[in-house]
Amino acid sequence: TQPYAAYLVGLADDVLVYAQRLAEWMTNAPQIEEDMALGNIALDLLGQARALYPHIGAIDGTGRGEDDFAMQRGERDWRNVHLVEQERGDFADEMARLLWFSAYQVQLQTALGRSTDAVVAGVAGKALKEVRYHLDHASLWVVRLGDGTEESHRRMQAALERVQPYLAELFDDDEASVVAADLGVGVLPSSLRDGVVEQVSRVVMQATLSLPESSKWRSRGGRAGIHSRPMGYLLAELQHIARSYPGATW
């Protein structure tokens, strides 16, 4: 069993939980093209999670498959950041979250392309192309909304402020990431911060918006299984059917 399994669980949980939230937009998006686009991004992230879980089950010695991870873990065993578990807000909230998350993912997957774990490097190679598209998509919308109408500018700015407390957590170097970085499998989250902030800042400036100051409060604990209120309800929905029919295959 590999000591960096916990690090990979964090990576996989981030994208699975965000895929679950993004998929909620289907039938709820502002236009049909966007139902499709957000569904597409959800599919990409879901695919990344599905590629990682069985690998984690192999290296941690449990032999767990994707659905063991997705459907059979309690809240305390999930290692995703709070950013991705927050409830769906308005479209500006989603674009603010997608902009930051995708910019983070571009830096992350770029670095993971050099992972000493061949599976991780392989997943990252494919993921990088996807998350670059996600970043483009979010950037396009942030610029349109920031530089659109008065209302959309106000909403987009408010969304940047609401998402702000959830960002620091992406860049915390927890124990698992230090282990993974030492082994050359992973990357220190803190090392990604400057690239992400620079990327987002460019978009925000083009959108005639401004990056908010740091808030007094910030989220923490996701990587240690300490989640925010929405997580339990997300899991109830995600797992209810699977949990209701123990041992069934689908």
Partner 1 sequence: DAVGEDFDALIAADQRIEPRDAMPEKYRETLIRQIAQHAHSEIIGMQPEGNWITRAPSLRRKAILIAKVQDEAGHGLYLYSAAETLGVDRAELLDRLHDGRQKYSSIFNYPTLTWADCGAIGWLVDGAAIMNQVPLCRCSYGPYARAMIRVCKEESFHQRQGFEILWTLMRGTPEQQAMAQDAADRWWWPALAMFGPPDTGEAAKGGHTEQSMAWGIKRFSNDDLRQKFVDMMVPQADKLGIVLPDPELRWNEERGHYDFGEIDWDEFWRVLRGDGACNAERIAHRRRAHEDGAWVREAANAYAAKHASTVTATGRESAA
**Residues 173-232 interacting with its own copies (rule: CB under 8 A):** 232
165 binds, among its own copies, partner 1, none (CB under 5 to 8 A by kind): partner 1
Q: Which two tokens stand for residue 164?
A: 């702000």
- For residue 125, give the amino acid letter: G
Q: Considering the complex, what minimum distance in angstroms separates the CB of residue 6 from its own copies? A: 22
Asked if 244 is part of the footprint of its own copies (rule: CB under 8 A), the reply reads: yes
Asked if 161 is part of the footprint of partner 1 (rule: CB under 8 A), the reply reads: no
Query: DSSP secondary-structure letter at 61?
Result: S
Task: Provide the H-helix boundaries in the chain.
Answer: 5-23, 32-59, 66-71, 82-85, 91-112, 118-146, 150-163, 175-182, 193-206, 230-244
CB closer to its own copies out of 63 and 246: 246
**Residues 64-83 interacting with its own copies (rule: CB under 8 A):** 74
| Residues 186 and 137: beta-carbon distance below 8 Å | no
Whole-angstrom CA distances from 249 to 48, 242, 244 are 22, 9, 12
Asked if 152 is part of the footprint of its own copies (rule: CB under 8 A), the reply reads: no
Instruction: Give CA–CA dist 241/244, Å, rounded.
Output: 5
Whole-angstrom CA distances from 183 to 177, 180, 214 are 10, 5, 32
| Residues 31 and 91: beta-carbon distance below 8 Å | no
- For residue 112, give the amino acid letter: L
Which of 55, 79, 223, 227 binds partner 1 (CB under 8 A)? It is: 227
- For residue 181, give the amino acid letter: A
Which of 96, 143, 185, 209 binds partner 1 (CB under 8 A)? It is: 143
Residues in contact with partner 1, shown as a per-residue x/- string from 86 to 125 under the rule CB under 8 A: ----xx----------------------------------
Q: Considering the complex, what minimum distance in angstroms separates the CB of residue 216 from partner 1? A: 5
Instruction: Give CA–CA dist 66/64, Å, rounded.
Output: 7
Asked if 17 is part of the footprint of its own copies (rule: CB under 8 A), the reply reads: no
Q: Considering the complex, what minimum distance in angstroms separates the CB of residue 236 from partner 1? A: 7
- The footprint of its own copies (CB under 8 A) covers 74, 232-233, 235-237, 239-240, 243-244, 246
- The footprint of partner 1 (CB under 8 A) covers 16, 20, 23-24, 26-36, 39-40, 42-43, 46-47, 49-50, 66-67, 70-71, 74-76, 90-91, 143-145, 147-149, 151-152, 155, 165, 215-221, 225-229, 232, 236-238, 240-242, 245, 247-250
